[in-house]
Amino acid sequence: MSDEKEWPLYEVFVRGKRGLNHVHVGSLHAADDEMAVRHARDVYTRRNEGVSIWVVKAEDITASSPDEKDPLFAPAGDKVYRHPTFYTIPADVPHM
Amino acid sequence: MTTIDPELQARLETQFDATIASNDRIEPRDWMPEGYRKTLIRQIAQHAHSEIIGMQPEGNWIARAPSLRRKAILLAKVQDEAGHGLYLYSATETLGISRRELTEMLIEGRQKYSSIFNYPTLSYADVGTIGWLVDGAAICNQVPLCRTSYGPYGRAMIRICKEESFHQRQGYELLMTMMRGTDEQRAMVQESVDRFWWPALMMFGPPDADSPNTAQSMAWGIKRNTNDDLRQRFVDMSVPQAEALGVTLPDPELRWNEERRHHDFGEPDWEEFMQVVKGSGPCNAQRIAHRRRAHEDGAWVREAATAFAARSTEGEDA
């Protein structure tokens, strides 16, 4: 039993309905891509939760470092002028 | 395991503590104390195993359900339990343990599952009672776990809680239908409730005084309520439901306490609880033997799928 090779891990993304993004819902094991889609249907969409499924092998995902204080995100931190609230506009100017 | 320098270790610990203190979630690749990881693996795996073993007592009645409607409902419910087990196994695997190890630990008896599933389902009314009381107790336990500090566990619990409500309602409806039937059917319901009430109360675990892990688990935000708090909540919820159903809960000490604004109730037989947890319950051996057989009988399917996938990949390369 122990020498059996484990099936690869897939991450599952489901589009709830047309017009929405695919969103990560969880993961599962499958022998190949097609079986991963079938398993994802049974595991994650038993109650009409989706109209479209993506699966991707977990090992194929490249991620940023897990640290939330990562310098990768630092450049966005001090650029408040990218937000509309940075600009003061008189209250009586319409449609702004 | 690589050793890390004490300064870095201290900084990681401070960060972890700050995340917990601000009620933020810990995610899989974050640094976490070894004790936190071990506690989570034990708790989530036990939870996953319970869902998987929990398919057996009810699966026992699928072929004997009295109508196509009841059969379809029961099939859907047992399929949900399989799904819940899979969500939870996935969450456990994010902590660095493999599915194969988890399955092996279950069938070798090295990890536990909820003791409630070591009781037999002797009559069809048990299908209803399990939905009402066992799933009801599970919901009491699980709703606060949606806010647990470990992200993947909380997300799995949210999915599970959404689906669990159907489980409880179908059970209660089944019992209501039987209570509208013959005297014999009503007696079946009462007999079933008599057998399941105390084991359902035991599902919340030993009394707080005998639950050494609770304090640490609550400090880490893994557990959000103590065993006794949740047990009290369950009793208070169940009493009016039992009245509406027309059954008696088998506890002579059960009564409303105006001062506490809660029901007083008797003490479960903790000796029996320990016996069942240690493996001497009515069905422990049978449940594990069945799970082992299903795993071993399915080996050829897993092997065939692996071989098929390998050959398809070779085909692409050629």
- Could you tell me the pLDDT band of residue B186, with boundaries at 50, 70 and 90? very high
Max Cα separation, chain A? 75
* Contact (Cβ atoms closer than 8 angstroms) between residue B84 and residue B248: no
Which of B19, B78, B99 is the best mutation test for A, with the most CBs of A within 10 A?
Answer: B99
Q: What is the pLDDT of residue A1?
A: 47
* Interval B247-263: pLDDT, tens: 999 999 999 999 999 99
Whether A70 shows a pLDDT value over 70: the answer reads: no
* Interval B187-204: pLDDT, tens: 999 999 999 999 999 999
* Contact (Cβ atoms closer than 8 angstroms) between residue B62 and residue B71: yes
**B305 vs A2, A31, A46: nearest CB:** A31
Please state the ipTM of this predicted complex: 0.88
- The pLDDT mean for chain B works out to 95
For chain B positions 55-84, those within 8 Å of chain A (CB to CB) are: 76, 79-80, 83
Q: What is the pLDDT of residue B19?
A: 94
Are B100 and A6 an interchain contact pair (Cβ–Cβ within 8 Å)? yes
Residues 6+ apart with CB under 8 A from B206: B227, B270, B273
Distance from C-alpha of B124 to C-alpha of A63, rounded to nearest angstrom: 51
- pLDDT above 70 covers what percent of chain B? 98
- Sign of dihedral through CA atoms B196, B197, B199, B203? positive
**Long-range contacts of the stretch B291-300 (C-beta < 8 A, 24+):** B291/B52, B291/B53, B291/B56, B291/B106, B291/B107, B292/B107, B295/A1, B295/B103, B295/B107, B296/A1, B299/A1, B299/A4
Residue for token digits 């880490």?
B220
In terms of C-beta density within 10 A (0-12 exposed, 13-18 middle, 19 or more buried), how is residue B115 classed? buried
